Amino acid sequence: MGINGSSLMTNAMTDVEKDLLYSRHHISRELFRGNFSSPVQDVLNTGWRARVLHVNTTLGTWLAEMSADFPGCTYIGVNPTIPSPLHENGRPFDVEFVEAKIHDGLPYNDNTFDFIFMRFCAWDFTENEWEKVVIRELVRCLKPGGWIEFMDFDMNFQNQGPTSIKMLNCIYDLQHMKNRIRRLTDIWEEFLMTTNQIQHVRNRSEYLPIGRHGGKLGDAASQFFHDFIIYHLPRYARNMGIRTRDIPNIANTYCEEANTCRTMAPLVRVFGQKKS
């Protein structure tokens, strides 16, 4: 899901956090059968002429896979503080990482990138920040004819069990009070179009099965949500009226209910093209 832990905003990322990020990446890629939905294959196949920006990159996995699938392009990942593990383990020659805060403005000229991708950070910004800061800054950096794409989980899970309903409603209420944000597809589509610079705005949703009814992908999703709950739910425990020592049982119950109810988690991509 698009909730980031506090330690993700420091250089001390735990192994558990890394595993969750890796799992989330691989699950979303398999669900959509690819790392993006924008029609940019032809541009990426041009090699050195194409420039790709991944905003709020963490592990660098998306960039590394894009580099392998479409070699020769220029790939840049920006993040306020986190050095990617690719710095330590070796990175593709066409991938680089830059520390930058989008609130301060990205260190790039207007019309620089052919493709801009941003995911799993919907709750990191208020609606006002999305409209007035984030989308405006990304559109500024996007070339005419280039594509911009966002991706995150929608909170409108299908076929939920009682544990899921209680947990998601509480998290949504808390995040809504904090960030004052509506449904993802609504704000992304609306704010892209209100720039008057983006056309062909589309959204694509895929439903992730949680549990055995989804085969291997469903099993992977079940494990991801189990570990996600154990790691992230403690911060909401007081507001939900639960004890932290009960969270492992809650995670187990959630997965059992998801399997029985055949729960589906929606992942959404919204993308559009800058006018020429």
Q: What CA–CA distance (Å, rounded) separates 56 from 137? A: 14
pLDDT confidence band for 88 (50 / 70 / 90): low
- Closest alpha carbon to 249 in 167, 193, 188: 167
19-41: per-residue pLDDT in tens?
999 999 999 999 999 999 999 99
Can you give the pLDDT at residue 49? Answer: 85
Can you give the pLDDT at residue 198? Answer: 99
138: left (phi over 0), alpha (psi -120 to 50) or beta: alpha
Can you give the pLDDT at residue 12? Answer: 66
Contact 71, 49 (CB under 8 A): no
The highest-confidence range among 42-51, 118-127, 132-141, 149-158, by mean pLDDT, is 132-141
Return the higher-pLDDT residue of 193 and 170: 193
Q: Torsion angle of alpha carbons 160, 165, 167, 170, nearest 10°? A: 150
217-226: per-residue pLDDT in tens?
999 999 999 9
Domain spanning 6-159+180-210+267-274: CATH superfamily: Vaccinia Virus protein VP39 (3.40.50.150)
- Closest alpha carbon to 198 in 144, 127, 150, 122: 144
Mean pLDDT of 4-15: 54
Question: What percent of the chain has a predicted confidence (pLDDT) above 70?
Answer: 89
Mean pLDDT of 196-209: 98
Contact 234, 247 (CB under 8 A): yes
